[in-house]
Chain A
Amino acid sequence: MPQTRAVQARILRVAILLVFGVIAGNLLVMQVVKHEQYESQSLENRQLRTRIQAPRGRILDRDGRLLADNVYIADITVPNRCLGQAGPDSTLEKLLTWLRLPRYETLDRLAGEQSAGRPRLTLVANAAMPQIAVIEERRRELPGVKVETRSRRRYLDGPLFGHVIGYVGETLPNEIGKGDDPDGYKPGDWIGRGGLEAVLEEHLRGQAGYTLQEVNAVGRVVGRREVELRPVRPGRDVVLTLSKALQDSLGAAMGDNIGCAVALSLPSGEVLAAVSIPCYDPNMFTSGISTKDWQALQSDPGHPFLNRLIQATYPPGSPYKIVTSLTALQLGIAAPGTAYAPCGGAYQLGNRSFRCWKRGGHGALDHTGALVHSCDVFYYQLGLRLSIDQLAVTARLLGLGATTGSPFKGESSGNVPDKAWYDRKFGARGWSRGVMLNNAIGQGELLVTPLQMAVLTGRVATGLADLRPTFVRDPAPASSPGLRALPIDAAHLDWVRRTMRQVVDAGTGTRARVQSIEVAGKTGTSENPHGEDHAWFVCFAPAILPEVAVVVILENGGHGGAVAAPVAGRWLSAYFTQQESPEVVAP
């Protein structure tokens, strides 16, 4: 037996040494070969890297009044996995009961968020103090539930500045990681979605910061030190050229009419006020708009997302007669005193009859009288003496047919047709000089945006060739326009301005009159093949040394002199009242 014992002992000894060899080898691999991998895992284990969202820059009006800022709200959030756990004792069930949340609605919403792949679900957005108190009191029973504060955009004037300022929304999955920031957008970050919020995204956004904290196994912060890995760089403020008070006045003057109005400061071209009605309330998007509300906005017949100022195009109508007159004067084809066949209510060209807006006719009028009373028959005859390219040159000098250089996305350039355009559209023989009749009175294929009309009005009022609308004072525009004069004789411009003054004094625009201020304007009623005519009114004031240019268009409003001129008048009287006794604003 001692013989076999020795053999058995040898077997056991070899087996033992083999097993301990495996243990030693495994330790060697873990502690020496893969040491760095485990060490970094150990670091990750105990270090909590916190990202601190940069506060988005505020948006201020030209006088420093607040238009958009950030408010800090508390969200009650639960881990993603909470949704899968059923049973009356589950964390989610407790929360539904204690916070008195509508059961199915809440679960539906959470399921939606979960399918979007969020690590944490927002149970209650913008929680009220009593709700937060419930969570804090019962923290022990609610593992994983957090009260997280975050910033939310607040638009103090709601829809009033909607199209100008735009709005922000939460980043979409396809935007995560993009952007100039070294680590890009993260879920839950805000991103500008429309208006200046989108255009000035990089200026407003700032850069998120990071801190490191030591935590223990249950995630409690234990280290004394908080290491700042990268400081937060707050977003920079934006100062608009718009004035809150003047915007208020313009909104009030417009009322509920669908349309658009804009006021430019002269000669700078700074936009003082700009409204496009109807408009969404940008605050709806910052709290997560419901599907129902979104669909309602989408299907609204007034198209609240359309920024009429730059995206909608209309025939310019009678205000375009300014372009026709200036062309004729500059080319020496007609003088202020030129008169043609008197207006009998219509003009016969070939076998077609072109009507004047005044059925009974204007009778005998010279050039000046025709502009004051907006006589179509006079302009038909004048138009026939001009070429389409001659008209187009003047129109373009005054800012039509091209984008105004506004910062917004999706600005339309409108349409100023010329010979080449008609040839392209109808073929070289497919059109006749008859188009001149329509073009002369601002109808036909001409299309302009309200902002282009404001530029036209401003250029006529100041004689400046490079006047452009600006919306933002800070950050300052890349280049400031020069003071180059329009290549049109000052005398002709002066005649137009004087005639526009008569329009308001005694012509079609009398309803834009303002006490003690001379206003120069031009009414328009542009024919709309789809319905009621659009009502135009363009003006500037004071007539001598103008300070502001105003353009109003009311869709389907009817006659410009009757509905659009009063809007401009109301705003102008508010403007000049404020100029006399400006409100004192705290800086």
Chain B
Amino acid sequence: MKLTWPRNPGEGAWMIPAAYAGLCLFSLATLWSVTEGIHGPYEIMDPGVPKSIFWRQVVWVAIGWGVLLTVRNLPLPWVEQGTPFFYLFCVLLLAVVLVAAPVVQGARRWFDLGPMRLQPSEPAKIAVILVLARLLAAFHTQQKRLLPVGMSLLLAGLPLLLVLREPDLGTSLVFAAIWIVTVFWFGLSWVLLLSLASPLLSAVFSFYAETVAGSPWPWGIYLVVLLVALTRARFRLHVSLALMAANIVTGLIMTFFWEGLKIYQQERILTFFDPARDQLGSGYQAIQSKVAIGSGGLFGTSYLQGTQKGLAFLPERHTDFIFSVVGEELGFIGAMLLVGLYLVIILRGLQIALEARRPFSSLLAIGVVTYFTFHVVVNICITTGLLPVTGLPLPVMSYGGSNMLTSAILLGLLTNVGSRSFET
């Protein structure tokens, strides 16, 4: 596949703002439909989601444009200088939220600030992207790579653990994704990365063998494949042995951990992985979302006519499950159009990272690309039932100030880098 991307400085500068504008319009149109309820022969009084949600999003779109344009024109050195303070502030907020925030549905995730909620994990995503870029940029000329990688792991790991403690598994995985792609971009070999990640894979296979397959064969096959891969990788013997041992140990720990759980705990985890187990619990969302998207067909039920949305079968239809509404009302064509807009941002972002002159800019750009890729892919996979349900918004589209501001700031940074790719 040969994609032609703009080569001349400034040639593609319009692409990201245009895609952002497209997403803003998409979001407003979808939220208008969601807050309208249902039209046609079956009219109901109460759409479930109030109209005010739409008007608030109008305000957030306006603010988002202001933020994007402002950040786009900030001098990048200022940003680089301010990074440590911003990072420390965010980590502090994450720590405070664990103590002071109200418990909602078993988790402490945000502060109530009157008109809006402050969810510290959102600015923390920006902070981690920035702090990793700044740290790794400082080491980019040195041959020793393990020291900066180790330090970056600490810097990303601290907010990750704090968020995991809230608990918010989905968001903590965003930090992990940002770290992995950034150190990869920094130059860490992907063979090494996969080796480091292999104990985690071992745990996943062991769990799969224990719960879904009911026999240890999947885990066994994974270990055999790993053994073959290790012999081909030409590591030193003791490294290979240590990796193998780590894989076996994590796999066994997974098994014992699972056996030690109470039935209802196991049930909760299984529902997480297989929503159909509990049709009226969290699995309900996943099933209704799939039904909505599937019933959309090629062209959709047409705008404002989605019945799953209108009859309130779709939960969270203005936030995390907004993609299902697009899928139902605009069908495959509309969904692909939306996915295309994201792809423009992501691929153009990759190009910006590639062309950036300074290491900080390049690493910053790749972090932003990772943020968008991870959020979009995971969110769509959740709504289409490929991944278990965990709260993760669709950037720009999902209703909410935090989501809009984070996206706007990150896109501002990305276009900022892009606009300077010809500078030295």
Residues of A within 8 A of B (CB): 1, 4-6, 8-9, 11-13, 16-17, 19-20, 22-24, 26-28, 30-32, 34-35, 37-39, 41-42, 45-46, 214-218, 222-225
Contact = CB atoms under 8 A, between A and B. Distances in A.
A46 B354 contact: no
Given A12-B350, A42-B295, 11 more contacts: A5-B362, A9-B350, A11-B190, A16-B347, A20-B339, A31-B294, A41-B295, A42-B308, A216-B312, A223-B42, A224-B42
B293 A20 contact: no
Interface string B337-357: 001000100110011011000
Contacts of A215: 311
B291 A17 contact: no
Interface string B185-203: 1010010000000000000
Name the 10 nearest CB pairs between A and B, nearest first.
Answer: A38-B294, A42-B295, A31-B332, A216-B311, A217-B312, A217-B313, A39-B295, A35-B297, A30-B294, A222-B44
- Provide the main secondary structure of the chain A interface: helix
A5 B42 contact: no
6 contacts: A1-B140, A23-B381, A31-B335, A217-B312, A222-B311, A224-B43
Interface string B295-319: 1111000000001100111000000
A16 B346 contact: yes
A222 B351 CA distance: 51
Interface in B272-305: 288, 290-298
Nearest to A44: B291
Nearest to B187: A4
A27 B335 CA distance: 8
A24 B333 CA distance: 10
Contacts of B295: 35, 38-39, 41-42
Contacts of A223: 41-42
A32 B297 contact: yes
B297 A41 contact: no
Nearest to A26: B384
Nearest to A40: B295
B249 interface: no
Interface of B: 1, 3, 41-44, 140, 181, 184-185, 187, 190, 288, 290-298, 307-308, 311-313, 327, 331-332, 335-336, 339, 343, 346-347, 350-351, 353-354, 362, 366, 369, 373, 377, 380-381, 384, 386
A31 B377 contact: no
Given A13-B350, A19-B377, A31-B327, A45 B43 contact: no
Contacts of B362: 5
Nearest to B386: A26
Contact of A216 (B41, B44, B336, B354): B44
Contacts of B184: 8, 12
Q: Which of A11, A16, A223, A225 has the most CB of B within 10 A?
A: A16
A31 B331 contact: yes
Given A13-B350, A34-B294, A38-B291, A23 B377 contact: yes
A18 to B, nearest CB: 11
A216 B308 CA distance: 9
Contacts of A6: 354
